[in-house]
Amino acid sequence: MRTTLLEWFRPTLRTDSQGVSLHTGRNLLSATPAANERWERKTFATDFFHKGTTIHSMCFVERQQEARLQLRISAEMGTTSLLGLARDDRGQIEIDTHLLPFRVLGVQLPFIDILTFPQHAHPVQRQLLRTPTSFAVRLRRQGSRGLWISGQGADLSAGGCSFLLAPPYMPNSDTWYDIEMLLTLPRSGEIRPLLNGEVKWVRASHRHIAVGIKVQHPGQRKALAMAVAEIQHALTRRPEDYLL
Mean pLDDT calculated for residue range 104-119:
93
> Of 145 and 52, which is predicted with more confidence?
145
What pTM did the predictor assign? 0.59
| Preceding omega of 110 cis (within 30 degrees of 0) | yes
Rg (CA), the chain: 22
pLDDT given at position 123: 86
pLDDT given at position 26: 43
Mean pLDDT, the chain, rounded, equals 81
User: Tell me, what DSSP letter sits at residue 206?
Assistant: S
Query: Confidence band (pLDDT; 50, 70, 90) for 21?
Result: very low
User: Tell me, what DSSP letter sits at residue 30?
Assistant: G
Give the domain ranges of the chain.
6-123, 131-235
Q: How many CB atoms lie within 10 A of CB 96?
A: 14
From the options 1.10.10.60, 1.10.275.10, 2.40.10.220, 2.60.40.10, give the CATH code of 131-235.
Answer: 2.40.10.220
d(CA 2, CA 89): 33
| CATH code of the domain occupying 6-123 | 2.30.110
d(CA 78, CA 67): 27
Query: Is the pLDDT reported for residue 200 higher than 70?
Result: yes
For 207, phi and psi rounded to 5 degrees? -95, -40
pLDDT given at position 237: 77
